[in-house]
Amino acid sequence: MTARPQLPERTPRAKGEPTALDGLLVVDFTRVVAGPACTQTLADFGAEVIKIENPEGGDDTRAYEHAEIGGESAAYLSLNRNKRGIALDFTNPAALEVARELIAKADVVVENFSGGVMKKFGLDYASVAPTNPRLVYCSISAYGRKGAYALRPGFDPVTQAESGFMSLNGFPDGEPVRTGPPIVDMATGMSACNAILLALLARDRLGRGQHVEVALIDIAVAMTGFYGMAYLISGANPGRFGNSPNGSPTVGVYQASDGPLYMACANDRLYRRLVTEVLERPDLVTDPEFAHRKNRTANREKLRAIIAGVFAGDKLENWMSKMKKANIPVGYLRTVEEGFNAPEVRDRHRLSQIPHPTAGAVPNIETPLNMSLTPTIDPIAAPLLGEHTKDVLRKTLGYDDRRIAALAEAGAFGKSRNTG
Give the model confidence (pLDDT) of 265-275 as tens digits: 988 999 999 99
Q: How far apart are CA 135 and CA 8, in angstroms?
A: 40
pLDDT band at 248 (very low <50, low <70, confident <90, very high): confident
* CATH class of the domain whose range is 25-225+350-410: alpha beta
Give the per-residue pLDDT at 418.
Answer: 55
Mean pLDDT of 83-96: 97
378 is catalytic: no
Tell me the whole-structure pTM to 2 decimals. 0.93
Q: How far apart are CA 420 and CA 56, in angstroms?
A: 14
- The answer to whether the CB of 328 falls within 8 A of the CB of 276 is no
Does position 417 have pLDDT exceeding 60, yes or no?
A: no
Work out the widest C-alpha separation in the chain, in whole angstroms: 87
Give the per-residue pLDDT at 420.
Answer: 59
Q: What percent of the chain has pLDDT over 70?
A: 98
- The answer to whether the CB of 120 falls within 8 A of the CB of 113 is no
Give the model confidence (pLDDT) of 325-371 as tens digits: 999 999 999 999 999 999 999 899 999 999 999 999 999 999 999 99
Domain boundaries, the chain: 25-225+350-410, 245-334
Q: How far apart are CA 184 and CA 412, in angstroms?
A: 34
Q: Is CATH 3.30.1540.10 the classification given to domain 245-334?
A: yes
Q: Which of 44, 156, 185, 218 is catalytic?
A: 185
Mean pLDDT of 246-251: 81
